[in-house]
Amino acid sequence: MRAWLDTQRAWLQVERLPAHAPELNPAEHLWANLKGVELANFAGDTVVQVADTAEQGIHRACDDQQLVWSFLAHTGLTLDHEHLSNL
């Protein structure tokens, strides 16, 4: 990973984060959203049902760009818009 990161230094700035900092992880906000919508009071009979329901929620969230960007905004972190085209 370090070798690959070294090849990306022209556009990628890497920051060390604390070992346990869920508030800095946009995916935690996605999970919170899923637990409040698709997975709220959901009791699937199988792991597959739970996974399918979670996947539907991920697709719902990803279809709403404003929602996805809000997950990042709630972390207080930013992406440099100059380099977004490289993603």
Question: Could you report the per-residue pLDDT of 11-69, keeping only the tens digit for each?
Answer: 888 888 788 888 889 999 999 999 999 999 999 999 999 999 999 999 999 999 999 99
The confidence score (pLDDT) of residue 41 equals: 95
Length of the chain: 87
Token pair recorded at residue 18: 């604390």
Q: How many helices (H) and strands (E) does the chain have?
A: 4, 0
**Residue ranges per domain, the chain?**
22-79
Q: Where are the beta strands (DSSP E) in 1-87?
A: none
CA distance 1 to 8: 11
Structure confidence at residue 82 (pLDDT):
60
**What is the C-alpha separation between 83 and 13, in angstroms, rounded?**
11
Q: What was the pLDDT predicted at 3?
A: 94
